[in-house]
Structure 1
Amino acid sequence: MKTVHRLPVLLLLGSLAMLAVAMVAPAHASAKHSEHFVRPAELEPDIAFWRRVYTEVTTEGGLLHDPEDLSVVYEVLRFPSDISPKTRSKQIEDAKKKYSRILERLASGAEDLSAEEQRVHHLWPKGTRRARFEQASESVRFQLGQADRFREGLVRSGAWHDHIADTFQKMGLPRELAALPHVESSFNTYAYSKVGAAGMWQFMRSTGRRFLRIDAAVDERLDPYRSTQAAARFLEQNYIILGSWPLALTAYNHGPGGMKRAQEQLGTSDITTIVRKYNSRTFGFASRNFYLAFLAALEIDSDPQKFFPGIRRNPPDNSRILLLPNSLPASRLVAALDMDREELRRLNPALLNSVWKGARHVPRGYEVRVPSHIDLTSVMAKLSTGAPEPAEVALAGGQHRVSRGETLSQIASEYGVSMSVLADLNDLDRPYRLSVGQVLAIPEKGGRPAAVVAQTPKETPPPAPAAKTTPPTGVVGAERYVVRRGDTLGKIAKKYGLTEDQLMELNNIRNRQFIYEGQVLALAASARAKPPVEAEVPVATVAAVSEPPSETEAVEPESEREAEEIGPALVPGTQAAASADPSDYSVQDKNTIIVQAAETLGHYAEWLDVRASQLRQLNRISYGTPVVIGRKVKLDFSKVTPDQFEARRVEYHRALQEAFFTQFRIEGTSEHVIKRGESVWVLAQQRYNIPIWLLRQYNPDLDLGSLQPGARLVIPLVTATGASSEPSA
């Protein structure tokens, strides 16, 4: 396995003054002289292709080209503005067929070429083989132009660009990353994609939950400030793992796990080699071109007048923050501010329809954006007078986690509520697309969530609803306890004859509200120093998965309308990766796997439909000896296929992580230098109070079972989501 040097971590954490000096460059520094984002000469034709897409051709046209050699552009198509979608689609297909026929002629070795066939032949490098023409004949591609959308994005970017660059600089990241929203969303804070990505940074829900608050009242993916911080944290994690900005940036789309596999498979971090040679069913056109499109966008963003003469960016956003001391209805907030409701809503896109329609309150502690002229002192005085709002209240119906195949109408019927009320409460628009694992707030039967009996304000997040694959938990031996869904320190302490303070002291817990499902608590002093190498969660009963989920390239949009329907990204299929998990769950050579955190032989036996004793015998592991994180284990595939095993394994980890990130989110990172005698397990579970799998994700190349003094650990810092502080009206 290739080792990523730990020096990049130090750079990220701001420990080298040289980086700080480099970061002082202007926000629109020259894209061709970036210290962090190399432009290899071999990739210049690809960058030039995207530069043409972004500046020369609008969404009223596009380029017919070869998807592998982007220097080969057969024709620029342009369509009348009044052409019908059907006619446009037919013209594109006819043009594709035309060039396929020409390429077939070239592949046949015909010598009597027409003028048009000779023109196409000359587009290709001299000496191109006939087999290459045959391949090209089967893959003629249409790329929609984006010049009008890019221009609109440049105008919008004025409100956020410098703030984004400053945010990244403060976190020790390159300022050039401020150009990334051009590729993701054209700086559209309201952007939604067909596959569920949202906001300026196009976070998928599962990735967004790691860093952002996403619930029935708030979706911080739509907040340009919060989502920018989240994007910075995600990119920081990618860089820690991969040690290269081109790879870290590509991982924003393809996922750090995918890029780490590419890095290890090819034995290099060279972006040119990976773009040209990495072969994976999920590394499609969008992922392969993500970095190249970014370089083109960065070049244009650095000198917009060169490409769009006379263009003017919007002025920077100058809104102010009103920090709410208590939750309250949006109607009362609007009245206190004495401003237009829609203007307030525009400034606060993360507050969902459920808030504006009165089904939920604006949460306590929420940072409300208001115009700069607002007198905050006067507003706070208004909000502090009058009858207090009801204390935080609970949804009478609770929550529901969406399973594969479920529809909104089925869920509404199951709980005896109106589908429109359920959609309204969860901010869903037609055609009501749901994603597996999505958590829906459920109102009481027959209507909106009621303001039931007021409860004493708490800071404890509600128990995370269990996914179908959440592992069972409970007592492990006589001295340890694995936290169940809904557990509290008080309940556990009382059950085992301890006080909360004793339980906190035993586990070095500083915040009594801060425990999570799957966490292992010591019930006696002798259980404190548990080895860090053993997976900590008992066997899960995993829902049957026959095949892994299909990974297909996004449809090529043929018009601006289709591009908007598919998503706001300027490269089809572009959004933040669906998973920020860098772990490798694949089956490797000779039917082996690398042991990941929170796994046991019992898990493998369950997913393989065999007995654990068979696996112990196969690997010569004695009874009671745990599998070690990072080591290889050989598997028996006599009952299931490797694909079926991988799918079950991934589903288990997805559910485990989703349950955690329903309650907690990552706020940043710190560094810990291992001292003599320190246990990684104790550090994770007791000092930093994080699951070992999360620590492993930020330190994938370290052997957590045998760290030497002086080794540096990157520690993800997590905080409670505060999901309980969102009362219903």
Structure 2
Amino acid sequence: MNSTGAPDGLQGSVRRPTAAARGGFTLLAACLAACLVVTPAPAEESPVSRPPQLERDVEFWIRVYTQIDTDAGFLHDQYNLAVVYDTLHFEPTTTPGERERVVDRERERYGAALRRIAAAGDGPLPADDQRIKDLWGAEGTPSRLHAATEDIRFQLGQADRFRAGLIRSGAWETHIAQVLANLGLPAELAVLPHVESSFNPAAYSKVGAAGLWQFMRSTGRRYMRIDSAVDDRLDPFRSTEAAAQLLAYNYRVLGTWPLALTAYNHGTAGVRRAKETLGTDDIVRIVRSYNSRTFGFASRNFYVSFLAALEVDRNPEKYFGSLQRQSALKFQEVQLPAYVSMPTLERALRIEPEKLRALNPALTHAVWDGRQRVPKAYRLRLPLDGTSWTRELLAQRLSPGEMFAGQSAPPRYRVQAGDTLVRVAARYGVSADTLARMNHLRVSARLRVGRTIDVPEAAAVTVASTAAPAPAAPAPAAPAAPAPTAPAAPAPAPTAAARAPAPTPSAPAVVAAAAPHAPVFTISVGPASAGGAVSAEVAQRESAEDAAVAAAARTRTASAGAQPVSAAQAEAIGPALGPALDAEQNADPIDYSVAHDDSIRVTGDETLGHYADWLGVSTAHVREINHLRFGRRVLIGQHIRLDFRKVSHEAFEARRREYHRELQASFFAAHRIVGTQLYVARPGDSLWTLTQRATQMPLWLVQQYNPDVDLADLRAGTQIVMPRVEEVGSGG
């Protein structure tokens, strides 16, 4: 290891957070394919702004991405990124443990130096201490330098990983640019995968995010197919279309692209809370001044690390010299006429498995090892080798006994007391890793007694022959799986919806109608993978697992965030080149927290009965403290006072979030968002008429797309963004 002093030219000042604060409707547009209408910005002004006040932060991440690789790192102040105390270099053979000891030793050394400088005041200093003091400039008061002893952070270099990502990006950059252009989104968003995954489509993070755009399962199911046979998060083409939808949604809710991008890391609700707390959408003020337990180093630095990636991506020769990006992938697609096993397809197509696997990354391990069939109607990608494949030609190459009407169902095992994944895996003669992959679990996951899990067949998988159509015709559609129970439509009971025109809620709406800067759009995207419905139980379980893992990761990366010292440690945390995740990826913009006066704001599909259950009191008691007559409905946006003598705020909030997480997981187990439409309310319209005219549309989803609209008191002329939802079958 060797170290060099920080270079000059990166000095500045920052207002450091205090220690205490760290801690019919008229249809305006037809459903035009791939169309997003946004008021264009002047040609010379990018909607993805680079504020001068954040320049030093951007420059820091440019240095991380281009000047030092994963065998070096910066020792720096976590709040003032212009203050880089030292650059630590390691030999490639140095173990992570040895590197950690060096980092700890140097952190202590610089902490001691800061204490000496603070104690010396204006007195003379040794040369190195004077260098450190000069880094702080006018901000380096004794109290500020003393506080800085707790903020020394290590940032591993990423130049080698970023360069590799630049080369990989060529395979998909044309498709990404087309998707963004078709939806009217800024072209700059195309570089986001640099920060998320270094353009690695097979990337997985420790919190369960996957693919080029690092989707969690619960968020991904809003837009993509994610089941035991197909995981579209790993498909760069499908996941790009989903990411564009999510980013457009974030922008619609938050109003600016800096906030929409920050929400990709911190969650829509978290950024919306920051915006409302400070009363501004200025990214500089939010980054510099917003204090929250979950708005840590990663969230503060996500947007500036994106801007750094944008700078490097647009000027690669400046930072890396000449490099050749991969050529765009070229392939043909054939739609499967039935459920077919992969070994059968390999034989019929006469294509090497490695080539098929490279072109079809969304197909899961269960498909490649024969436990699941490639689904009917799946668009299988094939090399351009001269043979022009069609659905009919493929059907002719397959025998009736090789085409199936449904998916193969793996055997199930009911967990007994004392079972672990390792123990069950040994019983069936497979590795714990294999069994964990079959069930979308981690090897360390605890198995609940009574739960059923997938297990391998006792013998080699044999697909039995079933009745099939003539070779040239497609197989009959698989029977649809029972749809999970959707949230019930509002009834005269006290629900958070208004059946008839409702009186104005007692509390004023946060914002009246759509903000002037919010985009007006109708959006449609190309077809996602057909089918993909899963059971509500599976969707709820996976959503709960995602939330639990993300919560554990937040605990581990609190304060200055994760600080890996080697490439292996960084990749074990996740593929991101930027700072590690602070909050669970979540598209839900609703704030489910309790206000300081023990009140909450009613959201869709909530009732007084829910509040009573979560508080451990009677519904009559909740009515009494809110002076509500029996039979009077509560309205979305209405303030309700609650009694927290039996339950803490934290416990209530956890139960409330869990209810909505399960509600949303159940819905997206069998539904998918395929676009949006914009409506304008007419006199006499209400939220009830809105949801009745849009089939399969739960109240909470309408509210998520319109969080700042007073849905309980719709006024003529109010703009409502309506998500377009399709029901997803279990098959193709």
TM-score, L = length of structure 2: 0.80
Partner of 2:343: 331
1:256 match:
268
Match of 2:674 in 1: 667
Indicate conservation of the 8 Å contact 1:670/1:715, yes or no.
yes
Per chain length, whose mean CA-contact separation is higher, i.e. which structure has more relative contact order (CA < 8 Å, sep 6+)?
2
Q: Distance in 2 between matches of 1:692 and 1:436?
A: 35
The answer to whether structure 1 residue 351 and structure 2 residue 351 are counterparts is no
The letter of the residue matching 2:639 is K
**Distance of 2:446 and 2:210 partners within structure 1:** 13
Report the secondary structure of 2:669's partner residue.
helix
C-alpha deviation, 1:432, in angstroms = 2.2
- CA drift of 1:241 comes to 0.3
The alignment partner of 2:654 has SS state of: helix
Helix, strand or coil at the partner of 1:705: helix
Answer yes or no: is the 8 Å Cα contact 1:165–1:176 preserved in 2.
no
SS at 2:720's partner residue?
strand
For 1:520, give the aligned amino acid.
A
Aligned to 2:708, which of 701, 704, 714?
701
Question: d(CA) in 1 for partners of 2:242 and 2:583?
Answer: 11
Q: Give the whole-Å Cα distance in 2 for the aligned partners of 1:575 and 1:169.
A: 30
Give the deviation of 1:604 after TM superposition.
0.8
Residues 390-399 or 361-370, more deviating: 390-399
Does 2:84 match 1:56?
no
Distance 1:590 1:144, change over 3 A: same
What letter corresponds to residue 487 of structure 2 in structure 1? G
Write the distance in 2 (CA, Å) between the matches of 1:14 and 1:143: 39
Cα distance in 1 for partners of 2:339, 2:60 equals 50
CA RMSD of aligned residues (A): 3.5
Q: Pick which of 384-393 and 451-460 moved more.
A: 451-460
2:721 alignment partner in structure 1:
714
CA contact (8 A) 1:318 1:371 kept: yes
Distance 1:265 1:653 in 2: 23
Paired residues of 1:396 and 1:450 also in contact (CA < 8 A)? no
Rounded to whole Å, the distance in 1 between the matches of 2:119 and 2:374 is 68
Partner of 1:481: none
How far residue 574 of structure 1 moved from its aligned partner, in angstroms, is 3.9
* 1:57-206 equivalence runs, <5 A: 57-110=68-121, 111-206=123-218
Structure 2 counterparts to residues 449-460 of structure 1, below 5 A: 458=477
C-alpha distance in structure 1 between counterparts of 2:462 and 2:716, whole Å: 56
Q: Residue type matched to 1:14 in 2?
A: L
8 A contact 2:295–2:582 mirrored in 1: no
Gaps in structure 2 of 5+ consecutive residues: 1-27, 468-474, 504-543
Deviation at 1:150, TM superposition (A): 0.4
Secondary structure of 2:597's aligned partner? helix
Residues 576 and 311 of structure 1, relative CA distance in 2, 3 Å threshold: farther
SS of residue in 2 equivalent to 1:589: coil
Alignment of 1:408-487 (within 5 A): 408-409=421-422, 420=431, 423-424=434-435, 426-427=437-438, 432=443, 434=445, 442-443=454-455, 458=477, 461-463=480-482, 485=484
Letter in 1 for 2:499: K
Q: 1:377 to 1:370 in 2, by over 3 A?
A: closer
Does structure 1 residue 14 correspond to structure 2 residue 36? yes
| Contact preservation (8 Å) 1:353, 1:425 | no
AA at the equivalent of 1:600: T
Contact 1:217 1:354 in 2 (8 A): yes
- Corresponding position of 2:623: 616
Query: How many aligned positions are there?
Result: 637
- Quickly say closer, same or farther: Cα 1:84–1:186, change in 2 above 3 A: same
- What pairs with 1:188-587 in structure 2 (closer than 5 Å)? 188-377=200-389, 380-388=392-400, 389-393=403-407, 395=409, 408-409=421-422, 420=431, 423-424=434-435, 426-427=437-438, 432=443, 434=445, 442-443=454-455, 458=477, 461-463=480-482, 485=484, 516-520=485-489, 530-531=499-500, 549=551, 551-552=554-555, 553=557, 554-574=561-581, 577-587=584-594
Question: In 1, are the aligned partners of 2:298 and 2:582 still within 8 Å (CA)?
Answer: no
Which amino acid is the alignment partner of residue 205 of structure 2? S
Quote the offset at 1:454 in angstroms. 6.3
Give the superposition deviation at 1:177.
0.4
Q: Say which SS state the counterpart of residue 377 (structure 1) adopts.
A: coil
Are the structure 2 counterparts of residues 314 and 122 from structure 1 closer, same or farther at C-alpha, using a change threshold of 3 Å? same
Give me the whole-angstrom Cα distance separating, in 2, the residues matched to 1:152 and 1:396: 39
Letter in 1 for 2:604: A
Gap change, CA 1:560 and 1:532, over 3 Å in 2: farther
1:639 to 629, 636, 646: 646
CA distance in 2 between partners of 1:417 and 1:603 (Å): 43
Label 1:41 to 1:396 Cα distance change in 2 as closer, same or farther (>3 A). Answer: closer
One-letter code aligned to 1:81: P
Could you tell me which amino acid in structure 2 is paired with residue 654 of structure 1?
A: R
The secondary structure found in structure 1 opposite 2:221 is: helix
Q: What CA distance in whole angstroms lies between the structure 1 residues aligned with 2:682 and 2:478?
A: 34
Q: How has the CA–CA distance of structure 1 residues 303 and 461 changed in structure 2, closer, same or farther, with 3 Å as cutoff?
A: farther
Deviation at 1:372, TM superposition (A): 2.3
Distance 1:447 1:599 in 2: 49
**C-alpha contact 1:354 1:424 (8 A) present in aligned 2:** no
Distance change (3 Å), C-alpha of 1:243 and 1:433: farther
Shift of 1:463: 3.8
The residue type paired with residue 235 of structure 2 is D
Deviates more, 1:363-372 or 1:217-226: 363-372
Query: Residues 300, 57 of structure 1: CA spacing in aligned structure 2 closer, same or farther, 3 A cutoff?
Result: same
- Following superposition, the deviation at residue 571 of structure 1 comes to 1.8
Contact 2:501 2:685 in 1 (8 A): no
Does residue 45 (structure 1) correspond to residue 56 (structure 2)? The answer is yes
Instruction: Return the offset for 1:433.
Output: 5.1
The CA deviation at 1:373 is: 2.7
Aligned AA for 2:681? I
Q: Would the aligned equivalents of 2:58 and 2:308 in 1 still touch at CA under 8 Å?
A: yes
CA distance in 1, matches of 2:307, 2:432: 45
Q: Using the alignment, how far apart are the partners of 1:660 and 1:140 within structure 2? A: 45
Partner of 1:605: 612
State the 1:676 CA deviation.
3.0
The alpha-carbon deviation at position 181 of structure 1 amounts to 0.5
TM-fit CA distance, 1:451: 5.9
Q: What TM-score, normalized by structure 1, do the two folds share?
A: 0.80
Which residue in 2 is equivalent to 1:472?
Answer: none
Partners of 2:435 and 2:684 in 1: CA distance: 55
User: Identity of paired residues, percent?
Assistant: 44
The alpha carbon displacement at 1:210 in A equals 1.2
Counterpart Cα distance in 1 of 2:457 and 2:429: 9
Q: Given that residues 533 and 627 in structure 1 are in contact (C-alpha distance below 8 angstroms), is that contact kept between their aligned partners in structure 2?
A: no
Q: Is the 8 A contact 2:373 2:408 kept in 1?
A: no
The one-letter amino acid of 1:71's match is: A
Report the secondary structure of 1:723's partner residue.
Answer: coil
| C-alpha distance in structure 2 between counterparts of 1:371 and 1:714, whole Å | 41
Work out whether residues 616 and 647 of structure 2, in 8 Å CA contact, stay in contact via their aligned partners in 1: yes
Deviation readout 1:4-46 (Å, 9 max, x if unpaired): xxx9xx9996345746x96xxxxxxxxxx65111111110000
Q: C-alpha displacement at 1:376, in angstroms? A: 2.7
The CA distance in 1 between the partners of 2:40 and 2:393, in whole Å, is 47
Q: Aligned pair in 2 of structure 1 residues 586, 452: CA closer, same or farther (>3 Å)?
A: farther
CA deviation after TM superposition for structure 1 residue 418, in Å: 6.5
| Aligned amino acid, residue 481 of structure 2 | P
CA distance in 2, matches of 1:218, 1:363: 8
Corresponding residue for residue 5 of structure 2: none
